[in-house]
Amino acid sequence: MSSEPVVLHNPTERRYEIRVGGAVAVADYELEGDRMIFTHTLVPIALRGQGLAEKLVRAGLADARAQNRRVVPQCSYVAKFIERHAEYRDLLAD
């Protein structure tokens, strides 16, 4: 019986993480004032196809919303994700 992967926020490393076995999927970000800049999302090949990138990005965007931060999607995955999920577009920085 497998359990659902858990997203952990690692503020020291400025990233959201999901650890499965010895592999780690991450969504990296930087903070500038009230802006959360998503810079990179990486899911190791062995972990792809499980929706982990989506889980990471949803967690990061939820935190951005909770902290009243504006989002800058420098990462192409995050940009496409927001483009496809209108409920997050209000977070985009001008």
pLDDT tens column, 22-64:
999 999 999 999 999 999 999 999 999 999 999 999 999 999 9
| H or E stretch at 81 | helix 76-84
pLDDT at 25: 98
Task: Give the tens place of pLDDT for each residue, 64-93.
Answer: 999 999 999 999 999 999 999 999 999 999
Q: What CATH class is the domain 8-91?
A: alpha beta
Residues 68 and 61 sit within 8 Å (Cβ to Cβ):
no
Tokens (6 digits) for 38: 């998503």
**pTM across the whole model:** 0.94
Report domain extents, the chain.
8-91
